[in-house]
Structure 1
């Protein structure tokens, strides 16, 4: 099976000039956790995920790691946190998005897609055909399409 046979063709994306607020609205409205960032020519220039936003929210000193498995949370000021969240919502998406995006061509085989998703520890993989974004594949898409016929 190839990428174009398992990808989701309806790709929700955000413009590079949009704010993080637009990203969050898209995540909520479409029940997704990541989306490509495109420029005015509809070329993919980045990718933003819920993890990127979580890392940005977490850039503060409200916790520290005691050991490999223990995290101690320092009681922070809720007002400071709320203000930080408001500031994050007004950032441009490219301030939190990844600029180097791992992507595949539409004819890549499913086992190669699974290897990329697993090795790179990413959840979604944009699919392009001749440099044009045509779809997206998630880990769940690979699992469903790979095992559906044998279960």
Structure 2
């Protein structure tokens, strides 16, 4: 019905306004062909722990975080259960961590990133944003409008917004 469409449109507009207040609009995206060294430098330079990975048309295709890099740096190829053998292997791997670091730094972002970028629409309501962050154990959720990233919502942004709304409600 026309009335239902008007309500949906109003709701979408309200959701957009709330998200635009909560999300960070200065989004740093990584190109999929970028080398890991440059990606990590960008994360450090902008004091962020991860960023969406985009294709040539700036559409989200993945997500890369410092955790993805650390997991790969720490990963061992062995399935050894013997503690003594594991200690020997750890010593061996420690000696070769520089070699592994050199190798990883030359890879492209697309080689290490999570290849499925979970995103939300700019009209998604905050309850759904919270559900997505929680269900998928995400720290950051890219927000898209017409297939392009327009912002990122962090868990800390949601908490900050929730506390502000609570305090404002208590003070009234």
Report the TM-score, using the length of structure 1 for normalisation: 0.87
**Which structure 1 segments of 5+ residues have no match?**
67-71
**Do the aligned residues in 2 keep the contact of 1:117 with 1:123 (CA within 8 Å)?**
yes
Which residue in the other structure is 2:76 paired with? 60
Shift of 1:149: 3.1
Q: How far apart in 2 are the matches of 1:99 and 1:77?
A: 28
* C-alpha displacement of 1:148: 1.7
**Aligned pair in 2 of structure 1 residues 64, 136: CA closer, same or farther (>3 Å)?**
farther
State the alpha-carbon separation in 2 of the partners of residues 36 and 42 from structure 1. Answer: 10
Q: 1:142 aligns with which of 130, 134, 158?
A: 158
1:3 offset after TM fit, Å? 2.5
Partner-residue secondary structure (3-state), 1:76? helix
Please give the secondary structure, in 1, of the residue aligned with 2:166.
coil
Larger strand percent = 1
Question: Which is richer in helix?
Answer: 2
Q: 1:1-150, aligned counterparts within 5 Å?
A: 2-60=18-76, 74-150=90-166
Q: How many angstroms does 1:26 deviate by?
A: 0.9
Query: For structure 2, which runs of at least 5 residues remain unmatched after alignment?
Result: 1-14, 168-172
| Aligned CA distance change for structure 1 residues 56 and 77 (closer, same or farther; 3 Å) | closer
Q: Deviations over 1:30-57 (max 9, x none)?
A: 0000001112211112110112111111
Match of 1:69 in 2: none
Runs of 4+ in 1 over 2 A off after TM superposition: 1-5, 61-66, 72-79
For 1:96 and 1:80, locate their aligned partners in 2 and report how far apart those are by CA, in whole Å.
20
Residue 101 of structure 1 and its aligned partner are, at CA, apart by 1.0
- After TM superposition, give the deviation of residue 23 of structure 1 in Å: 1.2
Tell me how large the CA RMSD over aligned residues is. 2.1
User: Take 1:65 and 1:18, find their aligned partners in 2: how far apart are those partners?
Assistant: 37
**Structure number with bigger Rg:** 2
SS of 1:137's equivalent in the other structure is: strand
TM-score (norm 2): 0.77
